[in-house]
Structure 1
Amino acid sequence: MAKSGAKIVFGTAAIARLSLEEGKAMLQICEKHGVKELDTAYVYPGSEETLNKLGATKEFILQTKAPLGSKLTQETVLDGMKTSLERLGVDSVDLLYLHAPDPTTPVEETLVAVRELYSAGKFKRFGLSNFLPEDVQKIYDIQSKAGSVLPSVFQGNYNAVSRHIETDLFPLLHKLKISFYAYSPIAGGFLVKNTAQLRVKDDAGRWGSGNPIADMYTTMYGKETLYQAVDEWAEIAKDAGISKAALAYRWITYHSALKAEYGDAVIVGASKSAQLEETLKAVDDGPLDEKIAKRASDIWEKVKDDAPLDNYHSYMKEQPLS
């Protein structure tokens, strides 16, 4: 019997860069493939407003995040949610995440705002993103003691070359009955590039020279062992007769530590509708050949000493708060 894969969530961080026609085409593709959940955030430029313009708020399940890059004070969280709901044109969302930790504000204060918003019916599910296991347990305990909404979803960085969380975070999430939603399943595009592009930062999309996001991804993945892994990844994909992206999406959906029974999900993004169609078709193709899947899984042992944890702890934590 084929393994049941993790569900797919559409990540809309870049949707505002597209025409409304292209954005609408993406949502139609999501409907076609049974994708019902949309991931957005306060800090994704224009994303929430664009989803409103596209009418997505009526057809899809919405998930957003508290402000990032500012202090998570009670006021900031409350004001951020008010703004997000106004942008989306809705009274409430399915899921509200804390996007990342704020070491300058006691989490107890942040959670006061979370409880206030939940009591007011502004969201149904509470999520965490980019937190360490000990912080997840602390937040869970505080919320449990308060008799309020418990975290039920964790969104984190997870892909074939970033798997540290399998050993410490995942067991905790399973114990607490928290689902895991994986962002960056192709490692920010790393797994679909070639090492010539990556080394010289030439024609490498978000990895290209002068791209404001390039510094983050280069800091996270720009190491020799990881470059070698990209070459090996290309060989595996060639032997499988599929694209490097398809290998990544099918591996994480069907052969990683994610499990459908836990409510786990993979967040996929796209810069154009044709790309999204290609991604979702690849997922629909189902599990990989067992030998191919094993070769993809085995790469982790070769890179784990140099692999990043997540976007926050491996880069953003060192950047100044606004």
Structure 2
Amino acid sequence: MEYRQLGNSGLKVPVLSFGTATFSAGTSEGAWGNTQIDEAKRLVDISLDAGVNFFDSADIYSDGRAEQVLGAAVAGRRDEVLIGTKATFRTSTSADINDVGSSRFHLIRALEGSLRRLGTDYVDVYYLHGFDALTPQEETLSTLDEFVRSGKVRYIGASNFSGWHLMKSLSVSERYGWARHVAHQAHYSLAAREFEWELMPLGIDQGVGTVVWSPLAQGRLTGKIRRGQPVPAGSRLTVGSETEQSGDPETLFRTVDVLDELAAETGKSLAQVALNWVLQRPTVATIVFGARTEEQFRENLGAVGWNLSVEQVARLDAASATTPIYPYWHQRSFSERNPFPTSVPARGEL
């Protein structure tokens, strides 16, 4: 397993991280998945054997039950793993008007709940799951800084922020000498490249590592979605509320065509090729992947230990390219001073 530094921090993480959104706890009500404790323990065993020691969760996954299952699965092995979890959103079980957002009130309650469910006294990376525009950033970031100083949190990060959200947060932290975001967990794949327009250059400039979620675009990049064919039964894409915005169909099909070609050239699956492309992008520290079965898990592991060639990466770049919105298309006309972040990062680099 390859390890990279998480942004401008001293923490090294595996390039593949295991996402626990499908973990549940003996009930399907409000659940995102149905991985139970025994199966979760088995997947954790496989993860650690493969060097995947970073586990991603959130307090809203199955209304906290995902954290509960993860805590049970790593019990007795806390010193072997890194745990990242998130807060900001309201769980469906909470009716308290203040039990949402990134206020001091909510974050303290949320962290205490996560620590209790995880069965630990600290988390390694604590993310804001979304930007709270109603709470002053001084309140949010001073609270997160207190978490770090208390030892309950090792590092902080953001998720789903826009460029100005993240830059404002970093500026406030710098102004007061508080802990700063070292990671941004973001939606990014061959089917959704908007992250490159502003957030990736920001990450390069500010030393913020990218933790990628949905690198396979809900299965769109696995070959399951083809021209003229219906969406497979049981796919998350059949659930309207779970469908991500991931480009136009023709660009997707063109990208899948090139994935087919490269899979044949490399002897890898389409998913492995798509994941390897993401791992070669600037700022990417780790990819969060999910797996409901051991077979899916082991296929994802096949994305590391090799690299697409520069020419193969360029073919995928061209196939998946879309015209950016303003002002990004205009900035590209001044590439002499606004270079597009296309370089492949060296090992251990942002």
Query: Which residue is equivalent to 2:108?
Result: 78
Look up the SS of the partner of 1:200 in the other structure: coil
CA 1:4–1:44: 2 relative to 1, 3 Å:
closer
Contact residue 258 and residue 265 of structure 1 kept, 8 A: no
Say whether residues 1:249 and 2:286 are aligned partners. no
Percent of residue pairs identical: 27
Query: Which residue is equivalent to 2:297?
Result: 276
- Measured in 2, the distance between the counterparts of 1:252 and 1:86 equals 34
Look up the SS of the partner of 1:195 in the other structure: coil
Count of matched residue pairs: 293
Question: What are the Cα deviations for residues 38-60 of structure 1, in whole angstroms up to 9, with x where unaligned?
Answer: 11111112211001111253431
Amino acid at match of 2:300: T
Structure 2: runs of 5+ lacking an equivalent:
5-13, 25-33, 91-99, 326-350
- Measured in 2, the distance between the counterparts of 1:143 and 1:291 equals 41
* Alpha-carbon RMSD: 2.6
- Of the candidates 84, 103, 123, which is equivalent to residue 133 of structure 2? 103
Query: Which residue is equivalent to 1:11?
Result: 19
Look up the SS of the partner of 1:282 in the other structure: coil
Question: What are the Cα deviations for residues 220-277 of structure 1, in whole angstroms up to 9, with x where unaligned?
Answer: 4464433443344334324443211111112222x32246xxxx11222111122111
Say whether residues 1:50 and 2:89 are aligned partners. no
Amino acid at match of 1:27: V
Question: What are the Cα deviations for residues 85-120 of structure 1, in whole angstroms up to 9, with x where unaligned?
Answer: 000111111111111112333333322322332232
Query: Which residue is equivalent to 2:199?
Result: 169
Question: What are the Cα deviations for residues 169-219 of structure 1, in whole angstroms up to 9, with x where unaligned?
Answer: 2222222222211111112211114434896334251112xx2544x32x4
Amino acid at match of 1:294: A
- Measured in 2, the distance between the counterparts of 1:162 and 1:220 equals 5
Question: What are the Cα deviations for residues 131-172 of structure 1, in whole angstroms up to 9, with x where unaligned?
Answer: 112221111111122221111111111212222222422222
Amino acid at match of 1:121: G
Say whether residues 1:36 and 2:78 are aligned partners. no
Q: 1:117-196 maps to which residues of 2 (within 5 A)?
A: 117-196=147-226
Aligned structure 1 segments of 4 or more residues deviating by more than 6 angstroms: 3-6
Query: Which residue is equivalent to 1:311?
Result: none
Structure 1: runs of 5+ lacking an equivalent:
307-322
Contact residue 85 and residue 125 of structure 2 kept, 8 A: yes
CA 1:43–1:304: 2 relative to 1, 3 Å:
farther
Contact residue 217 and residue 246 of structure 2 kept, 8 A: no
CA 1:72–1:85: 2 relative to 1, 3 Å:
same
- Of the candidates 271, 288, 297, which is equivalent to residue 317 of structure 2? 297
- Measured in 2, the distance between the counterparts of 1:115 and 1:198 equals 52
Contact residue 212 and residue 286 of structure 2 kept, 8 A: yes
- Measured in 1, the distance between the counterparts of 2:85 and 2:3 equals 27
Query: Which residue is equivalent to 2:342?
Result: none
Amino acid at match of 2:263: A
Contact residue 190 and residue 221 of structure 1 kept, 8 A: no
Contact residue 63 and residue 96 of structure 1 kept, 8 A: yes
Task: Quote the offset at 1:122 in angstroms.
Answer: 1.2
Query: Which residue is equivalent to 2:93?
Result: none
Higher relative contact order (CA 8 A, sep 6+): 1
Query: Which residue is equivalent to 2:307?
Result: 287
Say whether residues 1:21 and 2:42 are aligned partners. no
Using structure 1 for the length normalisation, give the TM-score: 0.81
CA 1:198–1:257: 2 relative to 1, 3 Å:
farther
CA 1:53–1:154: 2 relative to 1, 3 Å:
same
Amino acid at match of 2:270: K
Q: 1:253-268 maps to which residues of 2 (within 5 A)?
A: 253=279, 255-258=280-283, 264-268=285-289
- Measured in 1, the distance between the counterparts of 2:69 and 2:102 equals 25
Contact residue 191 and residue 246 of structure 2 kept, 8 A: no
- Measured in 2, the distance between the counterparts of 1:92 and 1:181 equals 20
- Measured in 1, the distance between the counterparts of 2:50 and 2:201 equals 31
Contact residue 186 and residue 213 of structure 2 kept, 8 A: yes
Amino acid at match of 2:267: G
